[in-house]
Amino acid sequence: MSEVVRKAQLAKQTTTALNKLSTEQKNDALLKIANALIERSEELIEANKPDIERGVKNGIPTGMIDRLTLNPARIKGIAEGLRQVTDLPDPIGDILEESERPNGLLIRKLRVPLGLIGIVYEARPNVTVDAIGLCLKTGNAVLLRGGSDALSTNQKIIEIVHDALLHSAVPADAVQLVESTDRSSVDEMLKLTGLLDVIIPRGGHSLIRNVVDNAKVPVIETGAGICHTYIDQAADMKKATAIAMNAKIQRPSVCNSMETLLIHEEVAREHLRGLAEKFVEAGVELRGCPQSLELIGDLAGVKAATDKDFATEYNDYIMNIKVVASIEEAIAHITAFGTMHSECIVTEDADKARLFMLEVDAAAVFQNASTRFTDGFEFGYGAEIGISTQKLHARGPMGLPALTTTKYCVYGNGQIRE
């Protein structure tokens, strides 16, 4: 029996027990995990070091190294995310609909756990903890398969989690980590019908496409983030500058960071050169359309942008710039190159904002706020399992309700159908 099947079976066997747990028991388990992560943070940081060293040696991009790195502040933030999940309402058992039929049948539609959730992801140790917290809070078992770049860190996290769960009502076997780094382990997970109830990929475009294209298990797709900020001709430039800078440089390695700045030509003529200088000073490599290159002038390191650039999720200090003649052209560009993740308009014109918010098809659309806010923590979910860019089951940051399904409980008194 392979590692994948063995661990999936172990986790699956806990789902009945998980379904019986009270909210208080689940919260107690999460708090124990949060406390253990803080108490054993030095161990966790030591386990993280070989992953970082290996990543640097293998030439992993700076942005990915940043995603991989743990420090006391990040561990504290991860633990705080778990604590926030305990403060959130438990959706399990919620009555979504209730009706009594003419024949006396009482029909209730309830939220229930999905069962065993498989999660395939890359070098993001925080995802390991977020996934565990959200899955356990909703009464789900979880089978994790992280990237090889974070294997040492994830092994230590699972060790800490298992030790904490031994002192709780949650079965430790409900959390499993596939330690095999061979791609065949992912391929095997994708075909675990009868064991996995759903699989969620988190990572780059190639990982997500592999899962979506090859899975026999139902998939909730979390998409890549080619996000745009459009500075309209009616923008407040103080706001626009702060929003655009934040959207790109606050943490460029994540999926809700901006990859392309769209700017109206009237604004660009006066402000683009100065804005470009700020990005270059912050270490961002710029790639621009012909009109933007003309307006930016001889600024060092600026390159011509191609359609391939506009279709690329950089997750790095690289950004495209395109000058547009109208909001309609901006929306058309987003439609052509966006990934339906997060899009922003900066404008003081209410009609333009309304048009943008209605016509842009994305999981999150912002007016006068950074795309960096597309995040479960920022939306008040405590943490997130991912940001779904699909339209069925869940869309946007996926908190607790997204990890549930429904069932009908029908109460009768001897009724039969004629």
161 shares its domain with 241: no
Residue 312, domain CATH: 3.40.309.10
Same domain flag for 204 and 297: no
243, 149: one domain: no
Identify whether 390 is part of a domain: no
Q: How far, in Å, CA of 47 to CA of 257, rounded?
A: 28
d(Cα 125, Cα 113) in Å, to the nearest integer?
24
> Is 294 found in the same domain as 238?
yes
Q: What is the DSSP letter of 172?
A: G
Ordered per-residue pLDDT tens for the chain, 418 residues? 899 999 999 999 999 999 999 999 999 999 999 999 999 999 999 999 999 999 898 888 777 788 889 999 999 999 998 998 999 999 999 999 999 999 999 999 999 999 999 999 886 788 899 899 999 999 999 999 998 899 999 999 999 999 999 999 999 999 999 999 898 999 999 999 999 999 999 877 788 888 889 999 999 877 778 999 999 999 999 999 999 999 999 989 888 999 999 999 999 999 999 999 999 999 999 999 999 999 998 887 899 999 999 999 998 899 999 999 999 999 999 999 999 999 999 999 999 999 999 999 999 999 999 999 998 778 877 667 778 877 777 787 788 988 999 999 999 999 989 8
Are both 290 and 194 inside the same structural domain?
no
Q: Which residues does 245 contact at the CB level (< 8 Å), separation at least 6?
A: 278, 279, 282
Taking the C-alpha atoms of residue 398 and residue 415, their distance in angstroms, rounded to an integer, is: 40
Say if 393 falls within a structural domain.
Answer: no
Name beta bridge partners: 219.
199
25 in any annotated domain: yes
Is residue 414 left, alpha or beta, with left meaning phi > 0 and alpha meaning psi from -120 to 50? left
Domain interval for residue 210: 3-222+398-411
Q: How many domains does the chain have?
A: 2
Residue 12 resides in a domain: yes
What CA–CA distances, in Å, run from 114 to 16, 73, 96, 134, 137?
Answer: 11, 33, 16, 12, 12
**300 and 364 in a common domain:** yes
Helix (H, G, I), strand (E, B) or coil at 388: strand
CATH number at residue 71: 3.40.605.10
- Give the dihedral of Cα atoms 286, 259, 65, 47; nearest 10 deg: 160
One domain, residues 94 and 231: no
Instruction: Report if residue 288 sits inside a domain.
Output: yes
- Domain membership of residue 416 (yes or no) is no
Give domain status of residue 418, yes or no.
no
**Whole-model pTM?**
0.81
Pairing of β 318-324 and β 258-264: parallel
Residue 261 falls inside a structural domain: yes
Residues 260 and 304 in one domain: yes
Do 57 and 160 lie in one domain? The reply is yes
Asked if residue 158 and residue 307 are part of one domain, the reply reads no
Which strands make up the sheet holding 303-304, listed edge to edge?
A: 303-304, 285-288, 318-324, 258-264, 227-231, 342-346, 364-367
Please check whether residues 145 and 294 belong to one and the same domain: no
186 and 249 share one domain: no
Q: What single-letter DSSP state applies at residue 284?
A: P
| Measured distance CA(141)–CA(119) in Å, rounded | 11
